[in-house]
């Protein structure tokens, strides 16, 4: 009988469709069995079946809750308010404060320029507001600042560097003598950095 049914199906549907139907996995049937609901009247506070005392005789959390002692009333997990702290205090790790340098303004700056192609180094001294040339670059010094307690320790120079007069600056900003790479001139041919401020 099964052979006859398969033969008829193969002729009517085609062998490829029948092969696909036979190769398909059988669908699984899922049966959901509901659980019996719990009647609240069956749960009695202090029921010995629910109490699980600890081995050392300490009352369990079930004991405390069944006796009506909740944590906020001094039960198993008492809530202790944090100790007051002084205003402005910080909880956690120590905080390191950094004291900023007090700076003074110099009369000018000493710069150094490098021609990367020729390999030549040129030292330039400018007063605030002056412009000098390095190759075809025009370098203008806005001002130079230095640490008041250590004039030779560092220098911060505001520079404007252009390819030609009136052109958009290829560099505009502060350069630091102690960290020349922090805010450097990005140019294919020339490099410029600050040496120190002049004070006279």
**Residues 135-173: tens digit of each pLDDT:** 999 999 999 999 988 878 899 999 999 998 778 999 999
Strands, sheet with 120-127, edge to edge from the N-terminal-most edge strand: 120-127, 108-115, 190-198
83 is written with which tokens?
A: 């100790």
Residues 6+ apart with CB under 8 A from 36: none
- Quick one: pLDDT at residue 60? 56
The residue whose two tokens read 């370098």 is 139
The residue whose two tokens read 């092969």 is 19
Q: What are phi and psi of 175, to 5 degrees?
A: -115, 140
- Domain segments of the chain: what residues? 103-198
CA neighbours closer than 13 Å in the CB half-sphere of residue 121:
5
Length of the chain, please?
A: 200
Opening angle at CA 70, ends 65 and 74, nearest 5: 125
The SS3 assignment for 9 reads: helix
Per-residue pLDDT tens over the stretch 80-137: 666 666 665 555 555 565 556 688 999 999 999 999 999 999 999 999 999 999 999 9
- pLDDT band for 6, please (50, 70, 90 cuts): very low
- Quick one: pLDDT at residue 103? 87
Predicted TM-score (pTM) of the model is: 0.49
The rounded mean pLDDT for the chain is 73
Q: How far is CA 28 from CA 8, 32, 34, in A?
A: 27, 13, 19
- Quick one: pLDDT at residue 109? 95
Above pLDDT 90, what percent of the chain? Answer: 38
Question: Is the pLDDT confidence value at 64 over 80?
Answer: no
């Amino acid at each position: 009988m099964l052979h006859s049914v398969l033969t008829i199906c193969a002729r009517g549907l085609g062998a490829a469709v029948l092969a696909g139907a036979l190769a398909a996995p059988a669908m699984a049937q899922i049966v959901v069995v509901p659980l019996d609901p719990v009647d609240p009247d069956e749960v009695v506070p202090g029921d010995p079946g629910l109490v699980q005392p600890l081995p050392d005789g300490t009352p369990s959390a079930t004991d405390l809750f069944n006796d009506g002692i909740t944590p906020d009333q001094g039960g198993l997990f008492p809530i202790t308010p944090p100790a007051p702290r002084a205003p402005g205090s910080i909880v956690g790790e120590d905080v390191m404060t950094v004291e900023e340098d007090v700076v003074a303004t110099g009369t000018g700056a000493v710069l150094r320029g490098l021609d990367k192609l020729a390999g030549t180094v040129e030292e330039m001294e400018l007063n605030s507001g002056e412009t000098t040339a390095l190759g075809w670059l025009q370098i203008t010094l806005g001002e130079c600042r230095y640490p008041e307690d250590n004039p030779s320790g560092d220098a911060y120079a505001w520079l404007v560097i252009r390819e030609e007069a009136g052109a958009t600056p290829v560099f505009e900003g502060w350069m630091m003598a102690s960290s020349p790479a922090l805010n450097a001139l990005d140019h294919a041919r020339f490099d410029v950095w600050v040496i120190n401020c002049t004070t006279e």
